[in-house]
Structure formats: C-alpha cells, structure tokens
Amino acid sequence: MPASTMPSLRRLVVKIGSNVLTRADGLPDLDRLSHLVDQVAHLRQQGTEVIVVSSGAVAAGRSLIQLPPKADAVSSRQVLAAVGQVKLLSIYAGLFAGHALTCAQVLVTKEDFRDRRHYQNMKTCFLELLAAGVVPVVNENDVVSVTELMFTDNDELAALIAAQLGADALVILSNVDGLFDGPPTTPGAQVIREVAPGATGLAQFVQASRSQFGRGGMLTKASMAQKVARLGIHVYIANGTTPDILPGVVAGTALNTWFRPRPRTASETKTWLAHAHAAATAVVTLNAGAVAALVAPGQARSLLPVGVVSIEGEFQKGDIIHLIDEAGQPVGLGVAEYGADKARERLGQQRQRPLVHYDYLFVQS
C-alpha cells in the first residue's frame, strides 16, 4: 500500500478545525463549509459512514451577537457557543439536505467519556444514527464545559470518538498540509509524509503555538494522532483549505502526514481505558518486578498486591487508577478490583487477589 493511501473505508471520523471554518475576521467561512459538506456527502454516497467533529460554534455566535469588549472570557465563550451552535447546525442541516442527507447534533463533555455507562450510551447513540444513514455532527458542549471539564480541543474529542467507534481512519483537517520537519514558514521545510508506530522525537519538529481561533496546536494533533494509531486506526493530518482534500486523502494523492497504525489488538474495555486517564482517582506505584511483568510482550498478567509499593489517594471497587513506576513514569491504567483500604492492607503481600485483573488493565506502549 502506498504510504498515504487510505484503507478500504467503512467508518471515518473527520475533524474540522476552527482555522478551517473561520475567516480572517473571525466569522464562519460558509463557502468552505459548503465544499467540505460536498466532500462528506461524496464519501457517504460511496458507502462510508462519516462522523464529523466540527468546531465553529463560537465563530457562528460572533456573526449573530456582539458582547462587551471587557466581558469575562469564559462566560463570553459560553454565550457565543450557545447562540452559535444553533446557527452552525442549521447551516450543516441545510447543506446536507441539499444532498438528501440528514445530520444530527451530538454535544458531549469530558464527563461522558469518564463514566462507563455514559460512554456506552453515547456509543449506542452513534451506532444507531449511523445505521439510520444519519451524519452525526459532534462538538464539545462549550456551554457547560469550562476549565478542567474541557477537552484539550476538538482534536482530543475526535480521537476519543474514533477510538470509541472503532473507526478505520481519522482525518484531522487543519490549515497546514501536515506535520513539517521544521517551522512551515522556513525555506526548505517539508511535510513528514509518514510517521511509524512508536516514533519518538516528534516534539522537536512541532511548534507549540496554538492556532488563531482554536485551543490546540500541532503538538496536540501529533500526540493524539500517535495515541489513536496505537489502537490500530489510520490517522491523517491534512489541509482542510485545500480543494477536494478528503477525496485526495482517500485516494492517496493529497499532501498530508500519515500516522501508520499498529495491528488492532485492544479489546473494547482496553480502548476505553486508553482514553480514560482523566477519570483516574488515585495513583498506585509499582516496583520494578511488577512493571517488568506487566509490560512484557505477549504476556497476560494481572497486577498483584505484591508488586505495589504505595498508594496515593482513595478509590473504590470499579474506579480507574493510575499506575506508575518508582521513578514516577506512567505505566498504565486499570480498574480496581477492590477499594484502597483493602489494597493498603494487602500492600506487598503474596498470594492475594489481583488489584487489577488483566482484562481491565491498559499498559502504555
């Protein structure tokens, strides 16, 4: 398969960033939005299920109301998002209707991914919408998502949904052609066409600055792309301002950065755990022997109390816990089989029930 050729597509997540949908004056770019909907409709006609993760609600809100210059930044964002989300979805609905397609609004918060029941309910909703031929248009619920409740940006949200739905591919549309091997404005800088699984050192190529209208940046995109690719999902970072970019990415003719995936092996539970770090309520430190046992390739090992050095924080049975080594480096995440009190009683003891069963353990690679 050529380096950037997309696999046979059953299900695709497309994330459209703020700098793609927003003009230089901060208002929505309706022509570009219309062109992107045309491309999504074309994919749907070819039999691909498409989930659109779209920014742009705040920009749409700016086109409708003006707030005082000195208004609180958080509350202003809430107001603009609340007003703008209605307009944004009405635009999407009208554009998709022109292709005889129906779209649906799905607003989510980080809390929906932390709770297992919410996670399953949301997944069921997505699958029912797709089965009915509906195009879900997803955005963070900025009206209630503030400070610690917010996703890093919609790149993180798109990554979570791609993992949740077992998508074949995730396309992240930004206003650049991909990940460059130097500052994009530097003469001679070139797009990195392929990132291998487990590649390190990408941060040296990525500028930490954020986009003009979005909350994230290329460093966030690269980090999320690698995490999703580890779950067996093809990820592409491409320029959403390029004409016919989606057909070009699918055909392998468009300039982009492809994050080559690892073979799919993770169970649904482990996939959820891989993205549930925000739900962890405590930190459990493991000794070197336990870490070695858990990370050994091809081994299915549970975490036993004999391998636990210390426990910081409280947790109950069923809570997610962070697992780290004695140097403080992350090892993984797990679902506790019993509470912190019992775990402390059994600290370092042999022949005890596992604190985390293998089926509910995600080890970072």
8 Å CB contact between 15 and 205:
no
Q: Is 342 annotated as a binding residue?
A: no
Q: Is 15 annotated as a binding residue?
A: yes
8 Å CB contact between 86 and 108:
no
**Strand 361-363's sheet: what is its strand order?**
308-312, 283-286, 320-324, 330-335, 361-363
Q: Is 139 annotated as a binding residue?
A: no
Q: How many CB atoms lie within 10 A of CB 264?
A: 10
131 burial (CB, 10 Å; 0-12 / 13-18 / 19+) is: exposed
Using the structure block, give the residue that is written with the tokens 């129906």: 102
Closest C-alpha among 135, 144, 122 to residue 53: 135
Which residues is 285 bridged to in the sheet? 310, 324
Q: What is the distance between the alpha carbons of residues 29 and 13, in angstroms, rounded to a whole number?
A: 21
Q: Is 142 annotated as a binding residue?
A: yes
Closest C-alpha among 330, 326, 329, 317 to residue 357: 317
**273 contact partners, CB below 8 Å, separation of at least 6:** 320, 332, 333, 334, 335, 360, 361, 362
8 Å CB contact between 21 and 160:
no
**Strand 256-259's sheet: what is its strand order?**
103-108, 135-140, 49-54, 11-16, 169-174, 234-239, 256-259, 194-195
Q: What is the distance between the alpha carbons of residues 49 and 46, in angstroms, rounded to a whole number?
A: 9
Q: What is the distance between the alpha carbons of residues 115 and 281, in angstroms, rounded to a whole number?
A: 12
Annotated binding site: 15, 55, 142, 154
Annotated binding site for substrate: 55, 142, 154
Annotated binding site for ATP: 15
